[in-house]
Amino acid sequence: MLLQVLGTAAGGGLPQWNCACPGCTGARAHPHRRRRHASLALRADEDHWYLVNATPDIGDQIEDSDALRPGPGHRRTPLAGVLLTDAELDHTLGIARLREAGGFTVHATAPVRTALRERLRLGEILAPYTRVDWLPLGPGPQPLGGEGTVELSTVPVSAKRPRYAAGGPPDPDGAGSADWVVALRLRETTTGRSLLYAPALAHWSDAFQRAVDEADCVIVDGTFWDDDEPVRTGISRKTATGMGHLPISGPRGTARHLTRARARCLYTHLNNTNPLGDPDAEEHTSLRSWGLEVAADRMVIEL
Ligand code: MLT
Ligand code: MN
Ligand code: ZN
């Protein structure tokens, strides 16, 4: 299975357009520190690629990837569709930028589809421009596309709604649907090799641990280095955990679980406050000692 990392930053990117924090200032001064919004591309078969999340950077992300550029032929694109882990704006605004397409599919869980079609009204808005097939995404496993050998399944990781959908109708099960945010499992049936992708992870459940145990590669929420980071840096009154992102380090951190995993483990969705945005930060030493990595934009992962 072939994966191309298209971006590794949290909402806002690195640098964020209106931010002069040390992380953003450092990324302006040192272009190699820049990170686009977190996204992946997955090759389902020879001619079909899928994006995992569609970010505000989608145009540049496609243009910068040899595999995703159009041709041969005028309007031929290898891009067949988009798989969504959640309905957050940093993961979905790019859908509207695909309006020049002849048509494409969007795979998403029920609450995410409802949010995009009824709150953002993307279905109605895109209908005069292109054909979008809104397809379900469930616990699975379900095959991806027609000819491909990739199978999809999901692990619910959070009931956190995007802010624009906060006031929407209550979830059918009353308690809040855990399908608002899912981890995506992509498994190649021919080789049995699999990726677990969770750019937002609110808690570490037994089901998520099992998915980590089964995966060959895990790319996970690295928004914040520690739980207090958003409060300390003044970007929020909530802790990382309170914002729906388990931190990397500390007693609630994901590193202590991942360090025991057999899979290759990488962090993505780095916020501009995360010290790991600076390649010289001492936090990289700790991360290396735990056997963990930070994903990089344009990284190619062959499983
Ligand atoms: C998140 O990752 O928590 C969201 O993208 C934040 C937001 O856009 O408000
Ligand atoms: Mn985000
Ligand atoms: Zn910043």
In a mutational test of the pocket of ligand 1, which residue from 14, 19, 88, 180 has the highest number of ligand atoms less than 8 Å from its CB?
88
Q: Please list the alpha-helical segments (H only) found in 44-175.
A: 58-63, 89-92, 110-114, 122-126
Q: Which residues contact 282 (CB under 8 A, 6 or more apart)?
A: 275
Concatenate the DSSP letters of all residues of 10-72 into one string: -TT-BS-TT--SHHHHHHHH-GGG-BPBSEEEEEEETTEEEEES--TTHHHHHHT-GGGS--S
Give the pLDDT score at 119.
96
Atom of ligand 1 nearest to the CA of 269: 2
Q: Return residues with CB closer than 5 A to ligand 2 (ion).
A: 10-11, 88, 90
- Please tell me the distance between residue 247's alpha carbon and the centre of ligand 1 in angstroms: 14
Mean pLDDT by 10 residues, the chain (303 residues): 97 97 97 98 93 98 96 92 98 98 97 96 98 95 85 95 88 72 97 97 97 98 98 97 97 97 98 98 98 98 96
- Check pocket membership of 11 for ligand 1, CB cut-off 6 A: yes
Tokens of residue 2, six digits: 């072939």
Which helix (DSSP H) or strand (DSSP E) does residue 103 occupy?
strand 103-108
Task: Please state the pTM of the whole predicted model.
Answer: 0.97
Which amino acid makes up residue 177?
S
Give the pLDDT score at 268.
99
Out of 2.60.120.10, 3.60.15.10, 3.40.50.261, 3.30.450.20, the CATH code matching 2-296 is: 3.60.15.10
In a mutational test of the pocket of ligand 1, which residue from 89, 160, 237 has the highest number of ligand atoms less than 8 Å from its CB?
89
Closest listed ligand to the CA of 244: 1
Give the pLDDT score at 174.
55
Q: Which residues contact 81 (CB under 8 A, 6 or more apart)?
A: 50, 51, 104, 105, 106, 107, 133, 135, 145
Question: Using CA atoms, how far apart are residues 139 and 128, in angstroms rounded to an integer?
Answer: 32
Give the pLDDT score at 173.
62
Give the pLDDT score at 28.
98
Q: Return residues with CB closer than 5 A to ligand 3 (ion).
A: 16, 19, 21, 23-24, 272
Give the pLDDT score at 147.
66
Q: Phi/psi at 229 (nearest 5 deg)?
A: -50, -45
- Please tell me the distance between residue 216's alpha carbon and the centre of ligand 1 in angstroms: 27
Judge residue 8's burial from the number of C-beta atoms within 10 Å of its C-beta, 0-12 exposed, 13-18 middle, 19 or more buried: buried
Which helix (DSSP H) or strand (DSSP E) does residue 135 occupy?
strand 131-136
Residue found by looking up tokens 């735990």 in the block: 290
- Check pocket membership of 90 for ligand 1, CB cut-off 6 A: yes
- Check pocket membership of 88 for ligand 1, CB cut-off 6 A: yes
Give the pLDDT score at 256.
98
Number of Cα atoms under 13 Å in the Cβ half of residue 122 = 23
Judge residue 192's burial from the number of C-beta atoms within 10 Å of its C-beta, 0-12 exposed, 13-18 middle, 19 or more buried: exposed
Give the pLDDT score at 114.
95
Tokens of residue 138, six digits: 């469930």
- Check pocket membership of 235 for ligand 1, CB cut-off 6 A: no
Question: Using CA atoms, how far apart are residues 7 and 34, in angstroms rounded to an integer?
Answer: 10
Closest listed ligand to the CA of 166: 1
